[in-house]
């Protein structure tokens, strides 16, 4: 197996930084559309052979150092009772938003049987990978998942979610505790099915104040990580907002913190306890730019990180759907040509 990714995640030396990219299996690839034009997004997630086909696209076409399971952070919320749909150009929607104590009480927590399709997909993917590179599993963090359940859709300002947190914290906490329980069990199901690492996505944490981050996000991530069967399985904690929250994220004891593009990555690394690796942190917009700009910016980051063990190259957030495929491929060639 190519162990670059796992070595870096456990802060061991590597000959070059390993590379994978958030949202690497998605709409910027023409081959994704060939599948997407025939099936709905949820069908793709729930049919193990299709989920495996999409997971393998960046493995076969880009040569990345780790694969990530093709799924979505909202499948846990759907299993709990959320009436989830995805519409092109609109994004995710819950037809039955969760806003009252009765709504929270109606959500189920014993839902692993409904998520068995994910375990099945992991087994098919591992067969296809044949031990060549590690497979990353993932789940959404409770705050980010709650925001979709409460808003019923994507949101710019999280107004309804914040109103619930501020006016009815006891309802918000009951909801977060339920999501956290399901999330820990769900990640353990993925580990039992054979993933080699897990990442927790708290995509919208940046919307929170310092105090609200501790109260409504961090403590639940800490609880999830504490409950993982994580022997030999590195845990990556990603949040948009990590430039601010990294010291708090470290208290949950992940193996890796995935950093957005606002901070200097070496400064973040040096501010963390020894043994916590960093992942990041190229601004994904750089991948729209001309190739010499892409190369220069990646090499600048690598020179900055030279001599630092525990560094995985990634973007500060996911690849946008209209980034040219050819630019992503070029970026990966630049990375794989680099030697410390």
Size of interface with ligand CP3, in residues (CB under 6 A): 23
Q: Report the residue number, 11 or 53, with the smaller CB distance to ligand CP3.
A: 53
Minimum distance, C-beta of residue 70 to ligand CP3, in the bound complex (Å)? 5
Residue 93 assigned to a binding site: no
Spatial separation of the C-alpha atoms in residues 55 and 67, rounded to whole Å: 7
Measured from the CB atom, the residue of 4 and 25 that comes closer to ligand CP3 is: 25
- CB of 237 closer than 8 Å to CB of 254: yes
Short-list 76, 17, 13, 10, CA closest to 254:
10
Q: Which is nearer to ligand CP3, 36 or 99 (CB)?
A: 36
Length in residues, the chain: 340
Question: In angstroms, what is the minimal distance from the CB of 158 to ligand CP3?
Answer: 12
* CB-CB contact of 29 with 64 (8 Å): no
- The contact pattern for ligand CP3, residues 209-238, with x = CB under 6 A and - = no contact, is ------------------------------
Q: Return the HEC string of 104-118.
A: HHHCCCCCHHHHHHH
Q: Does 203 bind ligand CP3 (CB under 6 A)?
A: yes
Minimum Å distance from CB 182 to ligand CP3? 16
CB of 159 to ligand CP3, least distance (A): 17
Site track for ligand CP3 across 49-88, x = CB under 6 A: -------------------x-x-xxx-----------x-x
Is 304 marked within a binding site? no
Q: Of the ranges 22-30, 109-117, 219-227, 273-281, which one interacts with ligand CP3 (CB under 6 A)? A: 22-30
The dihedral built from the CA positions of residue 30, 47, 64 and 238, taken in this order, carries a sign that is: positive
Binding of residue 245 to ligand CP3 (CB under 6 A):
no
Q: If binding is defined by CB under 6 A, does position 36 make contact with ligand CP3? A: yes
When binding is defined by CB under 6 A, the residue of 2, 10, 16, 27 that contacts ligand CP3 is 27
Q: What is the nearest approach in angstroms of ligand CP3 to the Cβ of residue 340?
A: 27
What residues contact residue 71 under an 8 Å CB cut-off, 6+ apart?
Answer: 45, 51, 118, 121, 138
The residue among 27 and 336 lying less far from ligand CP3, judged by its C-beta, is: 27
- Residue 103, judged by CB atoms within 10 A of its CB (0-12, 13-18, 19+), counts as middle
β-pair partners for 138 = 199
Cα–Cα distance for residue pair 331/287, rounded to 1 Å: 8
280 touching ligand CP3, by CB under 6 A? no
Please give the annotated binding residues for substrate, written as ranges.
Answer: 23-27, 72, 148, 203, 317
């Amino acid at each position: 197996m190519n162990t670059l990714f796992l070595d870096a995640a456990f802060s061991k030396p590597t000959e070059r930084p390993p590379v994978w990219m958030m949202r690497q299996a998605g709409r910027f690839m023409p081959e994704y559309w060939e599948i997407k034009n025939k099936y709905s997004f949820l069908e793709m997630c729930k049919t193990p052979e299709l989920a495996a086909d999409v997971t393998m696209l960046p493995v076969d076409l880009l040569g990345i150092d780790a694969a990530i399971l093709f799924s979505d952070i909202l499948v846990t919320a759907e299993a709990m009772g959320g009436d989830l749909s995805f519409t092109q150009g609109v994004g995710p929607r819950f037809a039955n938003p969760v806003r009252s104590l009765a709504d929270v009480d109606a959500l189920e927590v014993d839902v692993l049987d409904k998520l068995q399709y994910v375990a099945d997909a992991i087994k098919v993917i591992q067969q296809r990978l044949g031990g060549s590179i590690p497979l990353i599993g993932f789940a959404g963090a409770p705050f980010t998942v709650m925001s979709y359940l409460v808003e019923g859709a994507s949101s710019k300002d999280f107004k309804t979610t914040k109103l619930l947190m501020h006016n009815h914290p006891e309802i918000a906490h009951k909801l977060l505790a339920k999501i956290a329980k399901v999330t820990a069990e769900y990640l353990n199901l993925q580990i039992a099915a054979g993933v080699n690492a897990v990442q927790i996505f708290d995509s919208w944490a940046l919307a929170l104040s310092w105090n609200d981050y501790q109260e409504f996000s961090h403590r639940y991530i800490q609880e999830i990580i504490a409950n993982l069967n994580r022997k030999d399985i590195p845990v990556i904690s990603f949040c948009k907002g990590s430039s601010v929250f990294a010291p708090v994220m470290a208290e949950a004891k992940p193996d890796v913190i995935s950093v957005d593009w606002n901070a200097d990555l070496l400064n973040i690394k040096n501010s963390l306890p020894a043994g916590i690796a960093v992942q990041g942190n190229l601004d994904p917009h750089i991948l729209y730019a001309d190739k010499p700009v892409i190369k220069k910016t990646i090499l600048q980051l690598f020179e900055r990180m030279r001599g630092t063990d525990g560094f995985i190259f990634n973007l500060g957030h996911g690849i946008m759907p209209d980034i040219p495929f050819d630019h992503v491929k070029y970026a990966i060639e630049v990375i794989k040509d680099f030697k410390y």
